[in-house]
Amino acid sequence: MSDATEWHVRELVVKRSGCPVHASVRGSESAPLVVLSHGAAMDHRMFDPQLAPLLDAGYRVMTVDLRGHGKSKPVGEVPFMVTDLADDVLALVDQLGVDRFVIIGQSMGGYVAQDLVLRYPDRIVALGIIGSTCITAPLTRLEMFSLRTSPLWFRLWPWGNLRRTVAKATAVTDEARAYAYDAVSALRKQEFIAVWNAVALAVQPRPGYRIEHPLLLTHGDQDRTGNIRRSAPAWAERDPRARYKVIANAGHNANQDNPEFFNRILLEFLSEFVSTGRAAQ
């Protein structure tokens, strides 16, 4: 396996509502594009373990710093919605001149992936979800209340303790937790709240809706975030082309906690629906 740093990196930036949204692209221009969309308070680095396997398998890879994260600062106009984040991603893809692409999203990035396939189905070839809930499925009244009021509780939470709590809850391995703490610490509390407001408003139940695209639905076996583990089987049952996999020995950032297992099932999925002509490793 090659080192991802061996590949030429093309840097992209689009100005969106006062925020310069950054992305990095690696791989052949003729290869199928896979876009990697991170979770709330994380950044593009959370997908470092996936870069070399995807590139070696023949894919072109875009990693994004969603609005307010990583290099994509200042955050710009607030409030913003997950739909704005999805349109940011689409603007970056359009800058490449790519029509159809694969979107892989973790947590909030999974909301972005779902929004893209909902509003722009003709642009999406397939999607993958890591540790995210279904934004079009119904929630109980208690779940909806908890989600809608969560920004208030985060505003009251001391920032130092909140950063440590987020990092601990995000992963199970020391390395992934250290990354999560570094990533969340790069945000100011006001930025975190702006991001979380978008998360809290992302769920928009649509009775009868189905994702008709190939869907890889995953979460860690130790992911205790929200109702992810409880609701995932019903989601997998709802969507006709869903492939449901639980990542062993992994928490919320399952692709970081157990990258070997995750990479294997991701490449198997992509090789079936978005083949580059190379066998999955």
How far does Cα 74 stand from its chain's mean position?
Answer: 21
Q: Which residues pair with 63 in a beta bridge?
A: 24, 36
Torsion of CA 113, 93, 195, 134, to 10 degrees: -10
- Residue 247 is predicted with a pLDDT of 98
What is the domain class of 4-273 according to CATH? Answer: alpha beta
Domain boundaries, the chain: 4-273
Predicted structure pTM score: 0.95
Q: What is the pLDDT of residues 73-126, one digit of tens each?
A: 999 999 999 999 999 999 999 999 999 999 999 999 999 999 999 999 999 999
- Residue 276 is predicted with a pLDDT of 81
- Residue 280 is predicted with a pLDDT of 46
Residues of the chain with pLDDT under 50: 279-281
3-class SS at 92?
helix
d(CA 36, CA 107): 12
- Residue 7 is predicted with a pLDDT of 87
d(CA 209, CA 92): 27
Residue with tokens 């989601």: 235
Q: Pick the closest to residue 107 from 199, 221, 169 (CA basis).
A: 199
